[in-house]
Structure 1
Amino acid sequence: MSFINTNYYYVIVGLQALCVFHSFRRGTQGRWLFVIVLLPVVGCLAYIYSEILANRRVKTPNIDLAAVFNPGARIKRLEDALRFSDTFNNKIRLADAYLEAGYNNRAIAVYEPALTGAFAENEHGLSQLVIAYFNEERYDDAIRAAKKVYRASQFNRSKAHIIYAQALERNGQPDLAEKEFKAMKGRYSCFEHRYHYGEFLKRAGRHGDAQQVFGEMMDEAPHLGAVEKKTSRVWINKAKEELKKMEA
């Protein structure tokens, strides 16, 4: 019996270590660290469900109504929080708010010094920095930042990967851009990525290839489950509109 208890103890400790490491990589330790440590089993299971499994499924957006109607107030609150407590988590939250509000240079000014030392390879922060650089047409910087996070588990299906491919295209590297778009292409999934691949092909004058990409999306749409259909509806509708334009 003691052998079983010993093994159980090591499994829990190992699970805690994994969750803590993952939390630090994603910059969410301020929210999760004490839960994982003080409630080993429940905390680890809650973390795995909320931060790991949820990222592989569909995320339900948390809508901040105050931010929708008065984004400036939210930014002011986050700026005050950072002045009060200069933590990585507070920096990233503020930078994210700047980026969402379209203040790309402000976001960059916060992301860059935050993504150093122990947080130099933080997946979320680097992915957001890729987007901010691209928005400011700093394509070389966007490409460099993307390469730092390229091998991260969530990057392949992220918005940052789309932006990386587009940055390569804008930087005069269409062959590398297409390689990245193809890496994101998968049947019955990745509809946003595939839509942007179709747009890339259109810009390259390859209308037949673009029609094939959009057509495949339309063929697959009726076979999607309810959740996948809901989350992909925008991109399926966009593909449908593009096909109409191209066939007119």
Structure 2
Amino acid sequence: MPFYILDLIIAFCCVIHVFKTGQDRYWIYIVIILPVAGFLAYLLMVVLPGLLNSRQGYKVTNKIKKILNPQAELKEALKANETAETYANQKRLGDAYLGVKEYQQALMVYLRILKGLYATDPELLLQIAKCYYHLGNADECLNTLTQLKMHNPDFHTAIGRLYYAKALALKGDKVASKHEYQAIIKYYPGFDARVSYAEDLLAWGDLEEAKALLQTLSREVKRSERHVRELNEESVKRMKQLLAENQW
């Protein structure tokens, strides 16, 4: 494609963007009079800031930050906690450790603040249960979730019930775990419950059931809206990996 035609297409796109987003009209003259420099200026001063301030832009920049510096939130949480060891700062620190999969460190922080007004805090107990599960301690995970429910009967959490099913599987109680999974996958928001169930089905050797579950989920993912796939990105990745590993 000749350069001047590409230049015209870019200028036309900029003009459309100016009208569509209500930008100052002088940008039209700039991109026409100064084709390359004008377009770059418009891109840097108008388009990119608009993208970064949008919801989608925030998601993209946040994902890039995590890729480039996965320890950033942990460093900030450590710094905040050094300034003031408040409950909020320590909870943030525990969450930051959990986010980078340092489960033992996260657990130590959570247990340290599990006292006083927060001795039965449901959100805190849920995080502790997650840590125990990822550390391979099924009994303590189940016990923590039981304590959560006992002290907070009105606190309903789908993720808590999912971890209960996962912990039962980790403990080796296949019958009880399957019962929990089959109940929760009917209402769990997102794909995580079904992917987790498929993972445990494979571990139990129930290949046909796992295959049917994953293939049905794969069709659903393909039909789902883009924002749904983005919200369930990690689960979708795990699903695709399981399908590929088993050549289904």
Q: TM-score, normalised by structure 2?
A: 0.62
Separation in 2, partners of 1:211, 1:67: 33
- Superposition pairs for residues 122-201 of structure 1, below 5 Å? 122-150=121-149, 153=155, 155-156=157-158, 158=159, 160-186=160-186, 189-201=189-201
Contact 1:217 1:236 in 2 (8 A): no
Q: Gaps (5+ residues) in structure 2?
A: 1-57
Q: CA deviation at 1:135?
A: 2.2
* 2:171 counterpart of 1:208: no
Q: CA deviation at 1:175?
A: 1.6
Partner of 1:10: none
Separation in 2, partners of 1:190, 1:142: 22
Taking a change above 3 Å as real, the CA distance of residues 73 and 233 of structure 1, as seen in their structure-2 partners, is: closer
Partner of 2:230: 230
- Superposition pairs for residues 59-74 of structure 1, below 5 Å? 63=62, 69-70=68-69, 74=73
Separation in 2, partners of 1:66, 1:222: 28
Partner of 1:49: none
Q: Gaps (5+ residues) in structure 1?
A: 1-58
Amino acid at match of 1:184: I
- Superposition pairs for residues 52-131 of structure 1, below 5 Å? 63=62, 69-70=68-69, 74-131=73-130
Taking a change above 3 Å as real, the CA distance of residues 232 and 65 of structure 1, as seen in their structure-2 partners, is: closer
Deviations 1:152-183 (A, max 9, x none): 65521x2x543332221121212221122122
Amino acid at match of 1:110: V
Partner of 1:218: 218
CA-based RMSD of the aligned residues comes to 3.3
Separation in 1, partners of 2:98, 2:188: 30
Q: TM-score, normalised by structure 1?
A: 0.62
Taking a change above 3 Å as real, the CA distance of residues 210 and 75 of structure 1, as seen in their structure-2 partners, is: closer
Deviations 1:121-146 (A, max 9, x none): 33332222112112222221111112
Contact 1:92 1:111 in 2 (8 A): yes
Deviations 1:3-32 (A, max 9, x none): xxxxxxxxxxxxxxxxxxxxxxxxxxxxxx
Q: CA deviation at 1:238?
A: 4.2
Q: CA deviation at 1:216?
A: 2.0
Q: CA deviation at 1:74?
A: 4.7
Identical residues among aligned pairs (%):
22
**How many residue pairs were aligned?**
188
Separation in 2, partners of 1:99, 1:217: 28
Taking a change above 3 Å as real, the CA distance of residues 225 and 152 of structure 1, as seen in their structure-2 partners, is: farther
Taking a change above 3 Å as real, the CA distance of residues 222 and 119 of structure 1, as seen in their structure-2 partners, is: same
Separation in 2, partners of 1:188, 1:241: 21
Contact 1:188 1:220 in 2 (8 A): no
Question: Which has more radius of gyration?
Answer: 2
